[in-house]
Amino acid sequence: MYTLSQLQERRSVRSYTAEPIPDAVRRSLNADISELNSHLHGLRLQIVYGDDTPFRGRMGSYGMFAGVGNYVAAVIDTGVQFSAERAGYGCQQIVMDAVTHGLGTCFVGGTFSAQAIPVQVRAGEKIEFIVTLGYAAEKTRTMARLMAGIAHRKKMGGRDFFDAGRSAVSYDEAVKRYPLLAPALDAVSCAPSAMNRRPERFYLDSEGTVRAFVKDYTGLNPVDLGIAKYNFAQLLPGEWDFGNDTPFLPFEE
Ligand SMILES: Cc1cc2nc3c(=O)[nH]c(=O)nc-3n(C[C@H](O)[C@H](O)[C@H](O)COP(=O)(O)O)c2cc1C
């Protein structure tokens, strides 16, 4: 479980130093991967240390990423329902483990070259995205903070992720019923999302059950939904079903 301030501390890092990830941190990340692969159906996450293949050549020339040397490849079984969403959920756990160990991370959905990545991709599987891992280059870290401050964070608060139209009760009523809903939605507001689109929304149905959805369950939206569900459950402990409009079961009422 992570606190709101830990979740807020995370920023996408796109420029890395050559410092290797120490063995103790690798052990922790490797353990996360084995646990996630055995519990989340349709995932075969693989971690690669000391390799820059995804950003070499044509893709590397976009120049958005520098010094990437380690990453998790989110290999999913495309025949398993909700595997992309599970990958988002699971990889946000790895991201938070990495962040608490002082590493920088970034989900990368588009700007990497999937060919020649040294991971095993079987028939029916694909690399849905990768997550870069490493120590942030100092300059970029300052820059990223600056950008984050100016750009998006302030524009959407937790409340903006509550869909009052779809909900049976207002945001204030919902928070009365689940006081932890407010910090849980704040946790959603600092989750990473593809192109910073933040498509995920939450509501209470007529029975008072919390549900989440993305309007269009295609492309990287399911990944964003999975990430958001992970952040949500750090502040309001409980269990999510995967898929659109599925229920959230809090551990305690
Ligand atoms: C599924 C997914 C795919 C992403 N793909 C890219 C990418 O291809 N290139 C990139 O620079 N950032 C990518 N990002 C990072 C987002 O741009 C970033 O999370 C968002 O702008 C919010 O900024 P923050 O992570 O610093 O809070 C991706 C994020 C997610 C969740």
pLDDT of 61 higher than 50: no
What would the mean pLDDT of 22-30 be, rounded to a whole number?
A: 98
Q: Is 113 in the pocket of ligand 1 (CB under 6 A)?
A: no
Q: 99, 231 in Cβ contact below 8 A?
A: no
Kindly state if the Cβ of 110 falls inside 6 Å of ligand 1.
Answer: yes
Interval between CA 196 and ligand 1 midpoint (Å): 6
Amino acid letter, residue 247:
P
CA of 65, closest atom in ligand 1: 11
- The pLDDT tens digits for 119-140 are 999 999 999 999 999 999 966 5
Q: Is 210 helix (H, G, I), strand (E, B) or coil?
A: strand
Does the Cβ of 231 fall within 6 Å of ligand 1?
A: no
Contact 104, 68 (CB under 8 A): no
Which H helix or E strand runs over 250? Answer: strand 246-250
Residues 66, 25: Cα–Cα separation, whole Å:
22
Q: Check if the beta carbon of residue 44 is closer than 8 Å to that of residue 52.
A: no
pLDDT per residue over 218-238, tens digit each? 999 999 999 999 999 999 999
Q: Is 105 in the pocket of ligand 1 (CB under 6 A)?
A: no
Residue located nearest, by CA, to atom 21 of ligand 1: 196
- Indicate whether residue 59 lines ligand 1 (CB < 6 A): no
Name the residue with higher pLDDT: 232 or 252. 232
Model pTM score: 0.94
Sorted by where each starts, the structural domains of the chain and their CATH numbers stand as 4-138 (3.40.109.10), 153-239 (3.40.109.30)
145 Cα: distance to centroid of ligand 1 (angstroms):
15
Using an 8 Å Cβ cutoff, are 82 and 219 in contact?
no
Do the Cβ atoms of 167 and 201 come closer than 8 Å?
Answer: no
